[in-house]
Structure formats: C-alpha cells, structure tokens
C-alpha cells in the first residue's frame, strides 16, 4: 500500500486503485523514457506509467447519460410546442374561422411549459458536462503528458467564456480524443466528435436567428395591438408572416438540437470506453540497445543519433577501419623534452 495522489490516504493497492476514493494511480516515473512505444505513445519506463492519476469512476458519465436520455424527450416536446404555434399562425394567415385568441394563448403556454421542463434538465446537464469534461482532460494529461494546447482549467471554463467557447472546447476535445485513443494518436477517427460539434454550432446559430426574428415580430405585433404603432391589415399580415417564418426556423433548429443531443450521448459513451481501454494498456517498454540498455544509457543507442564521419577521413562506425597516427616511442627511462609530450 502507498499514498494516494488524490486523497492522500495510504490505501492504494498493487492494482493502482485507491480503496478510499476509488481513483486509479499511476506510479512515478524515475527514469523518463524519450522513445516512442507501440501506437505512437511515449514509452513508459519499467517502473510504470506517466505521473498522475487516472480517474475511471463512472459516476459523472452515468449521470450525463441519464440527463441526456431525459433531455431528448423534453426537446421533442419543445419542438411539438413550436409546431403548435406554427399551426396557429398558419391558420391565422389562411383566415380560418376556427382560430381564436385562446388557441394562440394555449399554444404559447404549452411551448413555455415545455421550455421550462427542458431547462430543468439542460442546466444540470451543462454543469455536469463541464465537470466531466475537465476530468477527461486530467486523464488525458496522464496518457500524454505535456502534449495538450490548453490547461485543465480551460476544459471547464471555456464552455462559459463568450467568443472563445466557439473553438476552445473543440481544440481541447481534439487533444483529449487523440490522447485517449487506444490505437495510438496517429490513427484517430474523429467522425463522431466532429459531427457532434458541427451539429451543436449549427443548432445554436440557427436557433439564435429564429429566436431573434420571432421576438422582433412578436414585439411589433404586440405594439400594433396596443396602438403604440399604427398598421393596416397588410402590415399586420406581414408581421404574422415573419412570425411564421421565424417559427419554421426555430423548429429546424430544434431538430438539429435533438441530433446534437443524441450525438453527445454517444460521445459520452464512446470517450468513456476509450479512456478505460487506454488506461488498461500495460506500460510500454522503451526500445532496448544492443547491450540491453535503454537509449542514452550505457549499452543503449546514443541519444544524439548515429555517429558522424571521422575527421580523419572515415567513420569508425560505418567506414573502413582507420589506424590512428603512431605516437613517438621513447627509450625506457627517458622522457620527451618539454613541448613535445
């Protein structure tokens, strides 16, 4: 048993797992090995894996899976609510006598209620996602130390920082995905990751356009009804058409958001499995030299590359053997004069 790097309890067994907090530990490197091992990862020394703990507990990933499983039905209900509003506005433009003010209010209330229900799931999912994403980043640091563009703090903070949240999270996710790949960093298929990120950005952008257009049309219609601004039948109809167009854009954005949520659910499962498989790989040994030593050690290959040509016209390692210049011999008991020895 030895101390845990997470909770400091002396409860880590031979398997590297702390019995107190459940965190997996990775032993300290005493002799860093610069050479690359199988799969392209830095080779570990015989003493163990890179410094740092890998936390493979599934509490956060399971919570996210449940929250996304709840979020998807609420998104569907929000889409249905938008569809109800779209239907009422379409009937108004068709001059249907079956549409009343109560129908419009009922459609608005249903959409509002479903939006609140969705927010009750989305807000905690966003918080848990940031915490889980930071844990992934910490695990990835243990897999590939010093090979990440941003620190663990950005893994959580970048989601809530305006402007940079449009690309920082994706760069961090790329580094995590590369470091966590069991096949090696140079054989990484990021189709799921890229698909999720594109659908997320498109859903946010399209949803923002639809929401702004609907708010502007609804505000203008309210002002016309209250008499704050004047408008004839043609102007009112034009505002309602704008509202219908905005609702159509919003429905399209909700469909993309549902796709993004499904891909996010798959992403949580995929990257969790990747990190578990990556952590299960045995420590990779560094390539050994002809005498059994590691690079840079006695008996191992030179860390500076192959020796260059000899200044005497050949290489003692690659060319013909060279005879060193003969040294002057002195009779026994005699010494060379000063300046010649």
With a CB cutoff of 8 Å and minimum separation 6, the contacts of 233 are none
Q: Are 175 and 148 in contact (CB under 8 A)?
A: yes
Tens digit of each residue's pLDDT, the chain (341 residues): 656 655 666 666 766 666 666 665 554 333 343 444 444 444 443 333 443 478 899 999 999 999 999 999 999 999 999 999 999 999 888 876 677 888 889 999 999 999 999 999 999 999 999 999 999 999 999 888 888 999 999 999 999 999 999 999 999 999 999 999 888 777 778 999 999 999 999 999 999 999 999 999 988 888 887 777 776 777 888 888 999 999 999 999 999 999 999 999 999 999 999 999 998 876 443 333 343 343 433 444 433 333 444 333 444 334 444 444 454 455 544 444 444 44
Q: Are 107 and 244 in contact (CB under 8 A)?
A: no
Q: What is the DSSP letter of 324?
A: P
pTM exceeding 0.85: no
* Closest by CA position to 155, among listed 142, 170, 143: 170
Instruction: Please state, in angstroms and rounded to a whole number, the distance separating the CA atoms of residues 204 and 161.
Output: 15
Max Cα distance, the chain (Å) = 130
* Closest by CA position to 143, among listed 53, 21, 46, 257: 53
Q: Are 27 and 16 in contact (CB under 8 A)?
A: yes
Instruction: Please state, in angstroms and rounded to a whole number, the distance separating the CA atoms of residues 240 and 242.
Output: 5
pLDDT value of position 186 = 74
pLDDT value of position 205 = 96
DSSP one-letter string for 94-141: TT-TT--HHHHHHHHHHHHHHHHHHHHHHHHHHHHHHHHHHHHHHHHH
* Closest by CA position to 139, among listed 167, 178, 169: 178
Phi and psi angles of residue 243, each rounded to the nearest 5 degrees, phi first: -65, -40
Beta strand ranges found along the chain (DSSP E): 2-3, 10-12
pLDDT value of position 339 = 41
pLDDT value of position 298 = 41
Q: Are 149 and 169 in contact (CB under 8 A)?
A: no
């Amino acid at each position: 048993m030895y101390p845990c790097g997470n909770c400091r309890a002396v409860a880590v067994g031979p398997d590297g797992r702390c019995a107190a907090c459940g965190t997996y530990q990775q032993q300290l490197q005493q002799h860093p090995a610069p050479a690359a091992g199988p799969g392209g990862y830095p080779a570990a020394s015989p003493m163990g894996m890179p410094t740092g703990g890998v936390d493979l507990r599934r509490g956060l990933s399971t919570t996210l899976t449940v929250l996304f499983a709840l979020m998807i039905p609420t998104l569907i209900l929000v889409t249905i609510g938008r569809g109800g509003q779209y239907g009422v506005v379409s009937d108004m433009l068709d001059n249907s006598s079956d549409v009343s003010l109560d129908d419009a209010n009922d459609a608005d209330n249903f959409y509002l209620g479903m939006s609140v229900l969705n927010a009750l799931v989305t807000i905690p999912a966003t918080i848990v996602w940031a915490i889980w994403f930071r844990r992934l980043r910490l695990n990835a640091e243990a897999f590939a130390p010093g090979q990440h563009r941003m620190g663990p703090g950005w893994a959580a903070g970048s989601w809530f920082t305006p402007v940079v949240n449009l690309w920082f999270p994706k760069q961090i996710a790329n580094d995590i995905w590369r470091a966590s790949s069991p096949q090696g960093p140079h054989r990484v298929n990021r189709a799921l990751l890229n698909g999720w990120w594109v659908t997320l950005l498109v859903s946010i952008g399209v949803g923002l356009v639809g929401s702004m257009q609907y708010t502007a049309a609804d505000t203008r219609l309210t002002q016309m009804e209250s008499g704050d601004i004047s408008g004839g039948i043609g102007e009112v109809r034009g505002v309602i058409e704008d509202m219908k167009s905005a609702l159509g854009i919003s429905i399209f954005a909700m469909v993309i958001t549902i796709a993004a949520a499904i891909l996010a659910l798959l992403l949580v499962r995929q990257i969790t499995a990747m990190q578990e498989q990556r952590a299960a790989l045995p420590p990779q040994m560094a390539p050994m030299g002809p005498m059994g030593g590691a690079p840079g050690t006695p008996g191992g290959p030179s860390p500076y590359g192959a020796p260059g040509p000899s200044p005497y016209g050949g290489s003692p390692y690659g060319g013909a053997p060279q005879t060193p210049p003969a040294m002057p011999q002195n009779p026994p008991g005699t010494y060379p004069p000063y300046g010649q020895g």
